[in-house]
A and B are shown apart, each in its own frame.
Chain A
Amino acid sequence: MLKFTEEHEWLKIEGDVATVGITAHAAEQLGDLVFVELPEAGTSLDKGATAATVESVKAASDVYCPLDGEIVESNQAIVDDPALVNSDPQGAGWFFKLKLSDPSAANGLLDEAAYKELIA
């Protein structure tokens, strides 16, 4: 199941674990990323809490936790090479995997059609 947030994150949900990243639209708006800071595995985060920070040449931006859950894995590859987020935002540029406290809460997020409408 693929879901989106109004804060321009995508979630690929398999069982009770969501792989989370930022959308191609967000990556394009941010420009070339030069730094990514990710949460450590084991961190519990509420929906809306700051989960990660990304920095372009110009500015720093927060990436929010899209649902309540616990971080189970972070993508070291984008820490080592932030440009991966720009080149493959919805693939190799994923940010973290989140074990959802309540998988059914994902139903309240946007589907792909609704997200496309949001950024149109």
Chain B
Amino acid sequence: MDDHSPLKQTPLHALHASLGARMVPFAGYDMPVQYPAGVMKEHLHTRAAAGLFDVSHMGQIILRPRSGKIEDAALALEKLVPVDVLGLGEGRQRYGLFTNDQGGILDDLMIANRGDHLFLVVNAACKDADFAHLQAELSATCDLTLLDDRALIALQGPRAECVLAELWADVATMRFMDVAEADLHDVPCVISRSGYTGEDGFEISIPAASAQDVSRRLLEHPDVLPIGLGARDSLRLEAGLCLYGNDIDTGTTPVEAALEWALQKARRAGGAREGGFPGATIILRQLADGAGRRRVGLKPEGKAPVRGGAMLYTDAEGRAEAGVVTSGSFGPSADHPVAMGYVDSAHSGNGTQLFAEVRGKYLPVAVCALSFITPTYKR
């Protein structure tokens, strides 16, 4: 990122200022890292009630098939992702990955079937590259639009459904990963039952001009607090979810990243549309034989947080390398430090003790499941 280019603002920028947010640069945007409640309270509030996040920096892309047939857009997108897009029903969404020829991950994204088009949500830092990639590969069959007139907010937590039901009663009929269109205060929105916290919740695409009004009304509810990027990070880490650029990147494959669940049967060996995505040879081989390293959860045994970048060893003297931590923090809901990282497959079994190098010391950590909380998705 060029340090001299001016930071972009989301449609909710003025709202953040009025709420007393502390702003930081993130992926080229001036974004709220925390509000006056602070990261700890914001995190715990989201798991106890409901939190409102501005994620308008993320890219929203519409993929419209020239033929008018959604199958054509699905098959076109399948050339870039190892995901069953064709089998995604209307009004449904699933997680996906753009891969490269080496099997690395160019970005992770959400793919929704909106009936006559596909709707994609991609990471802020990757959105221009993703859009160029899509245009280069798919412009023969699809019309592509990177929306610049929509905000995106997330309402997350056990009270999210009740809060949203006050604006739209039918919200209770949605299941996890459903996508629907609804008017919130007469503003046409696209709502998905999904999120990045491990909690039940919704992500809502709103016309930019109305985003502040809708957000303010949601914040008027006593159960809702605004939540910054700080708590967003600790929430997703406790839920075992990847942050692109930290936990997955062009140097990690979906199999190494323990994201096999995102690769449906239809795209695997023996499937109806086996392979046919960048890096398929490598990824299908790893699906069959495993990879040399694997993303795992890591629970530090002491109180000291172990941060991204810390090296992992099999011994307490730092002689035999076992891997590296990619994200680490204190987990406010877990009430202990939480981390994830890549370890040699030989050391990836749950309960394996490893040692993380922190300020010249070797602190014991235990390999564990990726999620430190029990997700509350409404399946």
Contacts and interface: CB of A to CB of B under 8 A. Distances in A.
A87 interface: no
Contact of B40 (A53, A57, A60): A57
A86 to B, nearest CB: 9
Nearest to A79: B303
A57 B230 contact: yes
Contacts, number: 45
A35 interface: yes
B39 A31 contact: yes
A32 B40 contact: yes
Given A31-B34, A32-B38, A34-B330, A57 B304 contact: no
A58 B303 contact: no
A55 interface: yes
Contact of B307 (A34, A37, A60): A60
B82 to A, nearest CB: 33
Contacts of A34: 40, 303, 305, 330, 337
SS class of chain B's interface: helix, strand, loop or mixed? mixed
B159 interface: no
A30 to B, nearest CB: 10
A87 to B, nearest CB: 12
Contacts of A59: 307
B38 A55 contact: no
- Classify chain B: how many residues form its interface, as a range: 20 to 34
Interface in A27-54: 31-32, 34-35, 37, 53
B197 interface: no
A112 B303 CA distance: 34
A79 to B, nearest CB: 8
A59 B309 CA distance: 13
B139 interface: no
A27 B238 CA distance: 25
Interface in A53-72: 53, 55-60
Contacts of A56: 39, 330
Contacts of B329: 57-58
7 contacts: A31-B39, A34-B303, A37-B304, A55-B330, A56-B39, A57-B40, A58-B234
Interface of B: 33-34, 38-41, 43, 230-231, 233-234, 303-305, 307, 329-330, 332, 337, 359
